[in-house]
Amino acid sequence: MLIKSFKINREIFIFTIIIILVIILSIVLFYSFANDENTSSDDSSSKDYIKWVDFNVTAEAMKLTSNLDIESHNNNAAEVKYNWIELLAYLAAQNGGNFKNFKKSDLDNLVEKLDSGEQMSDLTSSMKFYDYYYEAYSGVLSGFIGNYSIEVDNSTINNSTVSNENNENTNIDDEDTSRFKR
């Protein structure tokens, strides 16, 4: 009756009501899905990750820390095994990521503390950005230094010399190649 009194076409009225309901439903769904992305219970999708980092570590700092890492792992008598990424992250956290003012004495002091028995976790517990630099530098440098094994084709090792685990050179002939994977 109300519709007849205003002389509104019934089809236009129903169409207008449907359009309004669709708009309201769209807004509600949009905001509910937008909030669901931020409150996901899956750790892998909700974990924050570094999207950008300025990697401005000097060649000198990388060379010194990588040499410490390699030498400590190659020297079986070494009590402390250094990790060059941890060393760089410590220096970055100490200097705000600015390696322009890098001093070898800062690295020497850190190595001295580690040699005296202090743990890196204890030294970095009060450093606010150590974890950030460690994660960033791990993303950039983690595959460069480490223990690797090389798979060698049988045809390339015939009559060759290789080093074994004790760094002793060994001549390999055709009979010894059976121990290598193909």
pLDDT in tens, 154-178: 766 655 555 455 555 444 444 444 4
- At residue 52 the predicted structure's pLDDT band, cuts being 50, 70 and 90, is confident
Find which of 35-39, 44-48, 80-84, 147-151 is predicted with most confidence, using mean pLDDT.
Answer: 80-84
Tell me what pLDDT residue 153 has.
Answer: 77
pLDDT in tens, 129-146: 999 999 999 989 988 888
Tell me what pLDDT residue 62 has.
Answer: 95
**Looking at residues 4-24, what average pLDDT do you find?**
83
* Pairwise CA distance, residues 115 & 57, whole Å: 24
Residue type, position 23, single letter: I
pLDDT in tens, 23-43: 999 888 888 877 655 555 555
pLDDT in tens, 58-107: 999 999 999 999 999 888 877 899 999 999 999 999 998 889 988 999 99
pTM (2 d.p.):
0.58
Q: Which of 100, 75, 74, 72 is nearest to 86 (CA)?
A: 72
Helix (H) or strand (E) holding 161: strand 160-163
Answer positive or negative: Cα dihedral of 134, 135, 138, 139.
Answer: negative
